Amino acid sequence: MLGAFFIAVFPVFCIALIGYLLTRKTDVLRHPGMPILTTQIALPALIFYSLMTKGLPVGEMLELMLVTAICVSIGAAFVAFGCRLFKQSPCFYLSTLVNPNTGNFGIPMVFALLGEEALATAIVISSTITLSHFTLGITAMSGEAPWRKLFTNAPLLALVAGALLSSLEVSVPAPIMRVVELLSGVALPVLLLLLGSSLATLNLRRRSELGVLALLSLYRPLSGFLIAFAVTRFAGLDSLSSLALMLQMSMPVAVMSYILTLRYGGPSERIAALTLTSMPVSLAILAAIFAFQDLLV
């Protein structure tokens, strides 16, 4: 079983490693157009194409979003309580410890471990976490609620458009769908390349907090898994959706949390370190989910 897990995740880490090495040696992935290509073109195309072709009903999609939101809410309550207990401000830890890296790491990993049939589910979960980043994350860090930005968020707009057209059984012309299909094929490799690139550019000078980093690195993936496991016992999701949710919620600290922390003047060096140190813990949990999936659903 461990060999099967390694075979499944090997391409994911190979592509991320290429992104890491490219960024260490060249400026190819540092071009300002790369994030635009990913977030404004390739990822929305992948979301729209997956929803249109995988036939995920709107009711199931909304249920999945609600279950994911419940997981996030429970996680936020635990983090807020923990910060109060240890007399720490929760501003920069709510999003960091609650919102996992479901985008450029989570979607490819679910695709690798559960197959193409789980892709639409992974995308819906990731879109919900993205929504959490732009609501819970930014609101906690800045004290302001940037609701207007949600209406210009291309991945969320693609999610809404795909869900509506799919539910209404509207047929998109074949030439347009072919264009969307080709663009969607760019998304997973570019997401992984940018993941490797982001890890290569993190600032990790703060190495005097190994105990704190170890504790928080363990907490993020483990708490995400335990909360998702508990919630899926009562949510009534099918086995594939339950596994996808457990995998996605077990992901490491998101690079987006580091970016937002840096933007709003938080402990960016600590959060940068957590994006790396939480990854081995996450991988161990993912391997356990993959090995014992029949017992978890």
Question: In sequence order, what are the beta bridge partners of 100?
Answer: 253
pLDDT at site 124: 92
The total domain count for the chain is 1
Domain annotation covers residue 297: no
Q: How far is CA 72 from CA 43, 153, 235, in A?
A: 22, 20, 14
In this prediction, the residues of the chain whose per-residue pLDDT falls under 70 are 1-2, 55, 145-147, 203-210
Q: Looking at the domain assignment, is residue 203 inside a domain?
A: no
The predicted structure's pLDDT at residue 76: 95
- pTM of the complete model: 0.88
The reply to whether 95 falls in a domain is: yes
The CATH number for 277's domain is 1.20.1530.20
Domain enclosing residue 265, as ranges: 2-197+209-291
Query: What pLDDT does residue 242 have?
Result: 96
The CA-to-CA distance between both ends of the chain, in Å, stands at: 18
Q: Is residue 74 in a domain? A: yes
What is the reported pLDDT for 130?
87
Indicate whether 156 belongs to any domain. yes
Tell me the C-alpha to C-alpha distance, in Å, between residue 204 and each of 28, 149, 200, 258, 273.
22, 30, 10, 12, 6
Query: For position 96, what pLDDT does the model report?
Result: 92
Residue 226 half-sphere exposure toward CB, CA atoms < 13 A = 9
